[in-house]
Amino acid sequence: MNAKILIVDDDPFLAENISRLLSLQGYSCSVAPSAEAALKSLINGDYSLMILDLGLPDGDGFNLCRQARLKWTLPILMLTARSDAMDKVVGLEVGADDYLTKPFDPKELAARVRALLRRANEYQAPAPTAHPTRVGDLEIDQDRRDALVAGKPAGLTNREFELLVFLMKHANKALERDWVFEQVWGFDSEFSSNSLDVYVYRLRKKIEQDPYNPRYLITLRGYGYKFQSD
């Protein structure tokens, strides 16, 4: 990950902690303690995302967000102690992409940052080619929301079906397990990412001829999974 993140917050302790958290995720972080400093940083740096606090010493985050949107298209995550629903509505209307209220779970912040960066990259990427719906003796049946194995229904649950379709959409690509979990379950899920391993195991039992020597669902040890179609 080479994404550069600008953290705009006048609380040095919080800003440092966020910077440390995201640096551990592989991001390059800079801190701006005011709206003026943030605008100078945006002008001089090529940032991928901005984390913006609403309460700033020289104005509020709404105005800064509005100004930033006039020139830059980077994702903006508003981070604030305010929990009023109207603040969230205003924040989104002036151009914020997401909104997180303090106090927050560090894992949720990291997940939201990854999600925003991922969506930004997807918007900039060329339109993807159609993903496979049939590989070998495995076929996706959208009408039944099931898979057919050698013409016979596999009996997938709704979540198993969603996971299989997602993996097939990204066929032959190495996918990080936490990213797959966020895409299929979302970061507000009551499950943990360990649930993904369980569902992959169940899916293998239903679609693989030999679940212990899989043809389709490949585990990449220490990283994640890959759906193999070639």
**Residue 163 belongs to domain with CATH number:** 1.10.10.10
**Does 144 lie in the same domain as 96?**
no
In a domain, 111, yes or no: yes
Q: Are strands 217-220 and 224-227 parallel, antiparallel or unpaired?
A: antiparallel
Radius of gyration of the chain from its Cα atoms, rounded to whole angstroms? 21
**Does 204 lie in the same domain as 161?**
yes
Residues 6+ positions from 105 with CB-CB distance below 8 Å? none
Give the closest residue to 172 by CA, choosing from 128, 207, 114, 205. Answer: 128
**Does 171 lie in the same domain as 120?**
no
Q: pLDDT class for 128, splitting at 50, 70, 90?
A: very low
In a domain, 198, yes or no: yes
Range of the domain at 26: 4-124
**Does 172 lie in the same domain as 115?**
no
Task: Quote the pTM value.
Answer: 0.58
**Does 97 lie in the same domain as 16?**
yes
Q: What is the DSSP string of 85-140?
A: HHHHHHHHHTT-SEEEESS--HHHHHHHHHHHHHHHHHHHSPPPPPPPSEETTEEE
In a domain, 171, yes or no: yes
Percent of the chain with pLDDT over 70: 87
In a domain, 117, yes or no: yes
In a domain, 48, yes or no: yes
**Does 199 lie in the same domain as 111?**
no
**Does 118 lie in the same domain as 175?**
no
pLDDT tens digits, one per residue of 143-201: 888 999 999 999 888 778 889 999 998 999 998 888 888 777 765 554 556 678 888 99
**Does 85 lie in the same domain as 196?**
no
**Does 164 lie in the same domain as 54?**
no
In a domain, 142, yes or no: yes
Q: Which residue among 103, 124, 145 closes a domain?
A: 124
**Does 161 lie in the same domain as 105?**
no
**Does 16 lie in the same domain as 116?**
yes
Which residue did the predictor score with more confidence, 27 or 79?
A: 27
Which residue did the predictor score with more confidence, 88 or 188?
A: 88
Q: Which residue among 65, 92, 124 closes a domain?
A: 124
Q: Which residue among 89, 124, 159 closes a domain?
A: 124
pLDDT at position 84 over 80: no
In a domain, 129, yes or no: no
As a whole number of angstroms, the distance between CA 17 and CA 219 comes to 34
**Does 150 lie in the same domain as 88?**
no
The token duo for 193 is 């990412």
In a domain, 101, yes or no: yes
* The total number of structural domains that make up the chain: 2
CATH number (domain holding residue 79):
3.40.50.2300
